[in-house]
Structure 1
């Protein structure tokens, strides 16, 4: 039956054409944006996931910048530490030359002073963007290390950041100043039994222990003294009186009980090793570290005492503070300087090694972050990017369908006109 009121063919053709036009518009939008999911209405779940991943990529870009800055800062410190090591090695050569009797020690001392001043200049210039990792003399808690943002860690409970900790070293020559106020309870800082060494039978090792919880600015003191006219050591090469000594160390930020023990051990061993030497013992279950004083077997009359002082009025000393005391103008001083320079070289070597290790870690992390960002971008593309080959083929097909739809609607609209011939 034909009707001039209802054209079913035209309605079907119109619906088809409208559907084709909608699909064509979607395909054209896909081609223009390059995305199959360009908004939440396209696919809410995929869009939400992609946006979270895009936010992470932005975060990792900031982390990459932080790592680049940190790597440059550490590289400057490492280079400076290596330079200081080279300069200290040159000083050692001068000190060795001064061991000869027929050399001009005054001129050698001038060279040593010049090299020492150059070390000071290198350390002072070893900063990047205002941060000098070779200076660690502040008593403020947390000043002894620098945190470099290294990662963004996402989990089911939220997002957290990870850091690479760079511990400052100190190659300055600032002299330390110990505080004058004794701590309230010595046992909270140092435990042990001070006393006298009174003969071969009791001249064994004596151990004192430094407690955990070391804070910057706290001063530690070990005093070795001799009773007047009684302390002599028999060494087979003649008797002599051991030199009394006051050995002090002001803790820097980040120091542990082991660091305190090692620092005092180094100071004590720099003295007359025939009289007394020291060694750092193992850390016990509480984390405390012992310092063992090893007296000569025939020592008699040597007394030792321990003390600790608060940070009030204290100044943390530089890692190379003893460099200013090197003197090669006399036989005795040249011998002492040779023993000292070995310790100073080891300090600078340890600093360079520490910075080199951290620099390598930062470099590895930078490469990882770069690769991770590439992977995230690829993953986002897999989720939301359009398949352009498929889109091109679909566009061609829809354009043909559109033309056919228009023609079909035209034919359907012409159908009622055939009824006019029936009335002629």
Structure 2
């Protein structure tokens, strides 16, 4: 049956042409963007996976930069350590020459002093972006990887590089006084802790955050009375904090000094204890001796320095026979210290370089994986485009033929 109201042939041709046009638009989008999946609407699951992988690749790009900076920092320290090792070898030559009684030890000492100054200059200059691995004691960390677990959580991995102090400084106590209680605080029973007092303990605490490089802590003990309490006058115990010291480590160092003195002098009426969490020190005087007492004092300063790894170099003096003999012993230890530092930095640099190469390869693999998921196959897209263009032309021709069919009905009415 023919109808002038419903043209089924045209409807079929139009539907086909519409599908061809949709496919043609999709193919043209692939060709223009280079992506077969450019948004979540195209394929939500694949798009989500590709975005996670792309994010990881971007993260590894940042890690690669971190590794490059870390490698440069360690390389500077390694080269400086090697240079210092060579200078110490020259110093050793001078020290050996000083063993000869006929040599001018004053001139040899001048040469050693010049070489020592050069060592200090290298140590001071061996920094990269403000980080100097030849001073201080705290380790540094270099971001090296992002680890993703099965549940999708991410954690960072780091490579730890230990500092190796090669400075030639000697320990000196700080001389800049600070406000009372800024570094240490204390409580006592009056001016002295009496053996028969209700609370015969003196407690010295450390202010949180007060520990810093060069902070100097001094505790004094003055005990009187029986032999077990008599300190033979004021005894001073001093500790200069290093870069990595904490309240607890400073407390432990001072306690060890006091305990050694108490033990060596058989002061059986005096004892110390420590809070393992806060580092608070307690000095106690045994009860029962009414005439016994002990005065506990404390002072605090900043501006001190701690011994460097080559501190023996600072005091090296070959102008005397004893000094020359001691220098020969010291220089061997100094050379070994510098060699160990260079080896440590070399090992760390090798590890960082290996990790950097791995991260670079991993980033390439991730980007390749992302490409295989979302990139368009340009050869297939090109072939599909030509095919769809031909189909579109045929669809238009078919629609034209279908639209002409109702005109044949007119012949029935002639």
Q: TM-score, normalised by structure 2?
A: 0.70
Alignment-derived partner of residue 381 in structure 1: 371
Identify if the C-alpha distance between structure 1 residues 111 and 249 changes in structure 2 by more than 3 Å, giving closer, same or farther: farther
Contact 2:37 2:375 in 1 (8 A): yes
Count of residues in Structure 1 that have an aligned counterpart in Structure 2: 315
SS in structure 2 at match of 1:101: coil
The 2-side partners of 1:147 and 1:311 are apart by 32
Alignment-derived partner of residue 264 in structure 1: none
Which residues in structure 2 correspond to 1:44-83 (within 5 Å)?
44-83=44-83
**2:386 corresponds to 1:396:** yes
The 1-side partners of 2:67 and 2:356 are apart by 6
Deviations 1:119-144 (CA, angstroms, capped at 9, x unpaired)? 0111111111111111106xxxxxx0
The 2-side partners of 1:254 and 1:135 are apart by 12
SS in structure 1 at match of 2:38: coil
**2:367 corresponds to 1:372:** no
**2:356 corresponds to 1:363:** no
The 1-side partners of 2:374 and 2:152 are apart by 26
**2:131 corresponds to 1:125:** no
SS in structure 1 at match of 2:159: strand
Identify if the C-alpha distance between structure 1 residues 367 and 310 changes in structure 2 by more than 3 Å, giving closer, same or farther: farther
**2:158 corresponds to 1:158:** no
Alignment-derived partner of residue 409 in structure 1: 399
Q: TM-score, normalised by structure 1?
A: 0.68
Identify if the C-alpha distance between structure 1 residues 329 and 249 changes in structure 2 by more than 3 Å, giving closer, same or farther: farther
Contact 1:216 1:311 in 2 (8 A): no
The 1-side partners of 2:123 and 2:38 are apart by 55
SS in structure 2 at match of 1:316: coil
Alignment-derived partner of residue 170 in structure 2: 175
The 1-side partners of 2:57 and 2:76 are apart by 29
> Which of 136, 141, 149 is the aligned partner of 2:143?
149
The 1-side partners of 2:385 and 2:11 are apart by 24
The 2-side partners of 1:103 and 1:396 are apart by 96
Contact 2:169 2:314 in 1 (8 A): no
Deviation at 1:388, TM superposition (A): 1.2
Deviations 1:312-343 (CA, angstroms, capped at 9, x unpaired)? 76632211111011111122211110001011
Contact 1:250 1:317 in 2 (8 A): no
Deviations 1:217-249 (CA, angstroms, capped at 9, x unpaired)? 799xxxxxxxxxxxxxxxxxxxxxxxxxxxx99
Deviation at 1:12, TM superposition (A): 0.3
Deviations 1:92-150 (CA, angstroms, capped at 9, x unpaired)? 0011111112211111111111100110111111111111111106xxxxxx0111111
Contact 1:23 1:398 in 2 (8 A): yes
Give the unaligned 5+ runs of structure 2.
Answer: 176-182, 187-211, 217-237, 246-297
Identify if the C-alpha distance between structure 1 residues 154 and 129 changes in structure 2 by more than 3 Å, giving closer, same or farther: same
Contact 2:213 2:305 in 1 (8 A): no
SS in structure 2 at match of 1:165: strand
The 1-side partners of 2:169 and 2:97 are apart by 27
The 1-side partners of 2:300 and 2:10 are apart by 95
The 1-side partners of 2:12 and 2:77 are apart by 78
**2:87 corresponds to 1:87:** yes
Which residues in structure 2 correspond to 1:270-419 (within 5 Å)?
315-419=305-409
The 1-side partners of 2:300 and 2:407 are apart by 107
